[in-house]
Structure formats: C-alpha cells, structure tokens
C-alpha cells in the first residue's frame, strides 16, 4: 500500500517511519497549515477541567504556560493528544481506542463527575461547536482558549498529482473533514476522479460521510486518528489496500 499522508507539517514523519517498517510506502503532503496565534491570558483560574482538542493545542499551551500547568483534570480525544499531555507531566483522561471522538470524551465518568463549573476548551479558531454545546447543555460554563488557526495549504500542481500517481499512491489518510475539503479544493479538477477512486482512511463516520459527498466510495473508518488506530486497520487490509470492513 502507498498512502498519501495529509496531517499538518511535522505530524506525518513518525507515521511514515512506522509504515516503512511494515513494508508500506508513503508520500507526505500536509493539507492543513497551522499558524500559532499570540496567546491570550490562560483562562484556567477557577475551572473544573480542560479539554485539549489536538496535539497542537497541547504544544502551544505548554509554550504559553512555560511549563507551569494548572492542577485540574485534563481531557483528550485521542492517543496522540493524550501522549502530548503526558510529555508535559499531565495524566489525561481519554476514551478507548475505538471511541476517540468528542462523544467518547463526554461519556467519560471523570468528566461526568465534575462539578458543573467553568470548563476550558483549548483549541484553534473555528472547528465544530458540538463539544462546547454539549458541555453547556450539561450546566458547564465553557471558556475557550484559542491558540492557533488552521489555513488551507498552497495549491497542488498537476505535475505533483502525476508524481503521486506514478509512485503508486492508492490510499489517502484524512484525519479531519477539513483535510477532505482542502484536498478537493487544491487538487486540480482534472484529478478529482482519481481522488475519488482512492481508498480513504478516516477517523470517524462524520468524515466518511463528507468523503462520500465528494463521490468517494472506498472508505475505512478507523475509530480514531492515532497512529495505532491507523496501523491497526492497515494491518487488516490486503496488499492492494482492500479492507474487508470498509464501505
């Protein structure tokens, strides 16, 4: 299998090395650019807990806090974000590998048992409001700490896509709906049919549905965006990237 890895810059290389060790090829093409913002004052005072939406959120929070983390329960949606928190000396609450979604975090007993006070979401600009809305409906006063913005990458040339095709790329990893949208926005229209024919690996059903709206039909839902979730599903596929559990 030859995967197109589309995570932000600096997030693809460890996975590429693991894929190589398993005998798979990969091509790196980040489909989201991360732009750090000047951090506002941290809103943790008096908060009952904090949710970190991504590894990027953890890295930028640690930089802004200069390593002086508050003592409060921290939550993460995936194993990569949880590992980043552990590197900062925080033992986070995180759902199991097959439940790496906002809904999985909301179902955690550690979150359900928190007093209904202030709760901080550490994130980038934009994003889905579902988690914040769910917390508000449960009686939390949600505070947002916005540390970065996501931007669309530069356009992809026809030659670049031709290079992918010549190398034998036959699968695309898209760990967010934004990556799906960006691929179809920056790849030349003449190659959209090629995009649709590839096997797509996505973390959750919501992203799979978005890919289907673009005309993609060969899709595997990983159940999470961590390297382990990705490699676990790839291990079930045959040499040609066909997935017995895919749609």
Which residue range forms the structural domain that includes residue 184? 2-32+155-234
Query: Residue 244 domain-assigned?
Result: no
Q: What is the pLDDT of residue 242?
A: 53
* Boundary of a domain, candidates 109, 130, 150: 150
Q: What is the pLDDT of residue 240?
A: 45
Q: Sign of torsion, CA 169 221 186 16?
A: negative
Pairwise CA distance, residues 154 & 187, whole Å: 10
* Boundary of a domain, candidates 131, 150, 169: 150
pLDDT in tens, the chain (247 residues): 999 999 998 889 999 999 999 999 999 999 999 999 999 999 999 999 999 999 999 999 999 999 899 999 999 988 889 999 999 999 999 988 767 788 889 999 999 999 999 999 999 998 778 899 999 999 999 999 999 999 888 889 999 999 999 999 999 999 999 999 999 999 999 999 999 999 999 998 999 999 999 999 999 999 888 888 899 888 877 544 455 454 4
Same domain, 112 and 45: yes
Query: Residue 243 domain-assigned?
Result: no
Pairwise CA distance, residues 72 & 14, whole Å: 30
Q: What is the pLDDT of residue 36?
A: 96
Helices within the chain (DSSP H only): 13-21, 55-65, 79-87, 102-106, 109-112, 130-137, 158-167, 177-186, 192-197, 205-213, 227-234
CATH number, domain with residue 186: 3.40.50.10090
Pairwise CA distance, residues 65 & 179, whole Å: 29
Same domain, 91 and 184: no
Same domain, 228 and 146: no
pTM comes to 0.79
Same domain, 128 and 27: no
What is the total count of domains within the chain? 2
């Amino acid at each position: 299998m030859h995967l197109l890895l589309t995570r932000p810059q600096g997030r693809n290389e460890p996975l590429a090395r693991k894929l190589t060790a398993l005998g798979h090829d990969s091509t790196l093409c980040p489909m989201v650019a991360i732009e750090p913002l000047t951090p506002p004052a941290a809103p943790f005072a008096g908060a009952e807990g904090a949710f970190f939406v991504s590894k990027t959120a953890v890295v930028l929070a640690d930089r802004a806090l200069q390593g002086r983390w508050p003592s409060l329960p921290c939550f993460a949606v995936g194993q990569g974000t949880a590992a980043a928190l552990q590197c900062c000396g925080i033992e986070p609450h995180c759902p199991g590998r097959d439940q790496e979604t906002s809904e999985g975090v909301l179902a955690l007993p550690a979150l359900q048992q928190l007093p209904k006070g202030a709760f901080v979401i550490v994130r980038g600009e934009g994003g889905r409001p579902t988690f914040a809305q769910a917390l508000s409906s449960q009686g939390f006063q949600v505070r947002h700490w916005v540390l970065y913005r996501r931007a669309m990458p530069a356009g992809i040339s026809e030659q670049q896509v031709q290079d992918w095709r010549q190398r034998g790329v036959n699968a695309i990893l898209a760990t967010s709906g934004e990556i799906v949208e960006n691929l179809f926005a920056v790849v030349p229209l003449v190659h959209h049919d090629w995009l649709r024919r590839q096997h797509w690996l996505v973390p959750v059903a919501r992203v799979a549905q978005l890919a289907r709206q673009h005309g993609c039909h060969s899709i595997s839902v990983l159940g999470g965006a961590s390297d382990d979730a990705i490699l676990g599903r790839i291990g079930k596929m045959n040499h040609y990237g066909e997935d017995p559990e895919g749609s």
